[in-house]
Amino acid sequence: MQANNPNMQFPEGSVLLSIVESNAGVALWMQGIVSQVAALTRASSSTGSDLDSFYAQFNFPRNLAQFASGQVVFSRITATNQATVPVTSAVQTSAGDIQFYVYPDPTNINFNPSLNAYVLAPSVVDISVPVIAFLAGTSGNVSAGAINQISSNIPGIDSVNNPDAFTNGADQESDNDYRQRFIPYINSLSLATLLAYQTAITNGTPSIFYNIAENTNNIGNPQLGLNTIIIDDGSGSPPSSLINSVYQKLNMTRALGIQIGVYAVTVLTVNIAVTVSLNPLYDQPTLLTQIKNGLSAYFASLQIAQSVIFTQIYQVIYNSSVGVIEATGLLLNSATSDIACGFNQRAYVGAVNIIVS
């Protein structure tokens, strides 16, 4: 206005100043409304619950946090009488900040449904029991040996330990990961392609391991028109609820006339024996723990049907600490060769025998 009329002034208290300020205020308010609407109407600019509601239109939920789970071993010194480990019994890490509880597994031969507990018969000194974290997220991914305290009263049981690391806990999916995952989902929806199968399997199960075998049955023999899917949740024993969930999601995308079968993974246990020379300036128990944790992490990264490479085990041992001087005499299941996995198998570390020379 002043550019068109240099003599026009806007002194404090003038009508012209109040008109200009009121229009500017309304314009800023409208600009804010427009920006807010723009942020809510596009997935690329929506966040949090607004992004969830946007993708809900496509039946595409965010991957929620997952609870870490695995096996712990309860032990006792005196094994004269029968003892039980009740369901919901709690265990924890040494600091007490990460807790887990025992859950029922009807497939475990030691589980007694009537007692709702796992039973140690007389003369049995230890038992392997499944536990799951109290809180969902990666905080439950603990290293081997980290769970070593019993926080419930379990008569006749003296100690607890987790022989393997827990790796299947997952945090809630971030907005950015959620957006990235939507792209292959919408591009493959109802196409019955390999990408459609992959996105269906991982939708809602972010840390799942899977292998898709086309025209193959669950024992590896050719069968035209049948797609077999092998899954693992990182525990080696995925629950039937997960198998059923994956089947239902795949059934929504399979082509008419194509059959699908979803099966739990078969665990291939790999026992390791090796001789190591350690730097005497380092704490030996700490170095041995680091080696075992490194091996657990390596096996946790393996996919279904992925072979265990013999020379990579040496590499893992050396990478575990600079305190490892030399590793020799490595044996994988008493052999000096790679361990090949079948299409329905996933390698899990078993007994680790480390001899210090």
So what's the pLDDT on residue 337? 95
Give 79-127 pLDDT, tens digit per residue.
999 999 999 999 999 988 999 999 999 889 999 999 999 999 999 999 9
Q: How far apart are CA 260 and CA 248, in angstroms?
A: 10
So what's the pLDDT on residue 253? 87
Asked if 257 and 225 touch (Cβ cutoff 8 Å), the reply is: yes
So what's the pLDDT on residue 55? 92
So what's the pLDDT on residue 187? 82
So what's the pLDDT on residue 129? 95
So what's the pLDDT on residue 3? 84
| C-beta atoms surrounding 43 within 10 Å | 15
So what's the pLDDT on residue 186? 86
Give 19-66 pLDDT, tens digit per residue.
999 999 999 999 988 888 877 778 888 889 999 999 998 888 999 999
- Sequence spans of domains, the chain: 15-56, 69-161, 190-264, 267-356
Give 285-294 pLDDT, tens digit per residue.
999 999 999 9
Please state which of the four CATH numbers 3.40.1350, 3.30.160, 1.10.490, 3.30.300 is assigned to the domain occupying 190-264.
3.30.300
DSSP helix/strand/coil, 286: helix
Alpha carbon 127 to chain centroid distance?
25
pTM of the predicted model as reported, rounded to 2 decimal places: 0.64
The enclosing H or E element of 25 equals: helix 15-40
Give 151-204 pLDDT, tens digit per residue.
999 999 999 999 989 988 999 999 999 999 999 888 887 778 888 899 889 888
Percent of the chain past pLDDT 70, that is, above it, reads 100
